[in-house]
Structure 1
Amino acid sequence: MSLVQRIKTLCDEKKVTFAEVERKVGISNGQIRRWDTSSPKIENVKKVADFFNVSVDYLLGRTDKQVINVENEPSTIAAHHDGEDWTEEELEEIERFKEFIKTKRQQ
């Protein structure tokens, strides 16, 4: 699937047009359609990827996973007690942090 086809699919899912995406990300009108026959600026591809909350690799067809794997963000979170006793307050704080991470994942 081409870059433009991927963007078209995302537009259909989000119920927006190319023109709306272009306007919202600040690129010139008709630009996305021209990407079928010309090489887009990487900055513009990044803007479109950010708009749809997908990775540039997904848009370019390098992966079928839409999820952005942000560098420096853990992909796995583990807590080790190492025999320590945790206070009720500390356990509540851990639970709040866990919920915070879950909400970030959904954004």
Structure 2
Amino acid sequence: MEKAKILSDLIEKKGISRRAFAEAAGIPATTLQSMLTRGVGRASIDSVIKVCKGLGITIDQLEKMAAGETEEFETIAAHKEGEEWTVEELETIKKFKEFVRSQREQDKNHQG
């Protein structure tokens, strides 16, 4: 998926206007609009960092989402039920899910 589309969707999920998000992130609304229409690759790294920080994600996570590798992250974030999870908390949740899966596999192996 295209990075600009991912950012646009994540901003939309926040439930605020692009202008309000840009202001909160510390960049001009025109810079955000340009990033979302012309592409993230044409934006300054400082602007990309500010947008990612405003969304509570890292640039690495954006890269992984664009590569289709972080469906879990998006799913967890979508089901936060009004709570504000930090990136670290989401990572802890992800690790816990991996632990539970490994326990399930061990249980299967011991039963078989």
TM-score range, shorter chain: 0.5 to 0.7
* Contact map agreement 1:49 1:56 (CA 8 A) in 2: yes
Distance 1:2 1:64 in 2: 13
Equivalent residues in 2 for 1:10-21, closer than 5 Å: 10-21=10-21
Per the normalisation by structure 2, the TM-score is 0.51
Higher relative contact order (CA 8 A, sep 6+): 2
**SS where residue 54 of structure 1 aligns?**
coil
Question: Matched residue pairs, number?
Answer: 71
Equivalent residues in 2 for 1:24-63, closer than 5 Å: 24-35=24-35, 36-37=37-38, 39-60=42-63, 61-62=66-67
Residue in 2 that maps onto 1:95:
none
Per the normalisation by structure 1, the TM-score is 0.53
1:105 aligns with 2:108: no
**SS where residue 30 of structure 1 aligns?**
helix
Distance 1:4 1:26 in 2: 18
Distance 1:64 1:14 in 2: 22
Q: Relative to total residues, which structure has the larger helix share, 1 or 2?
A: 2
Calculate percent identity across the aligned residue pairs.
15
Cα distance change on mapping 1:15 and 1:64 into 2, 3 Å: farther
**SS where residue 48 of structure 1 aligns?**
helix
Q: Which runs of 5+ in 2 are unaligned?
A: 75-87, 92-112
Greater Rg by CA = 1
Q: Which amino acid aligns with 1:46?
A: I
Residue in 1 that maps onto 2:94:
none
Distance 1:58 1:5 in 2: 14
Shift of residue 9, structure 1, vs aligned partner? 0.8
* Contact map agreement 1:19 1:29 (CA 8 A) in 2: yes
**What RMSD over aligned residues (CA atoms) do the two structures have, in Å?**
2.5
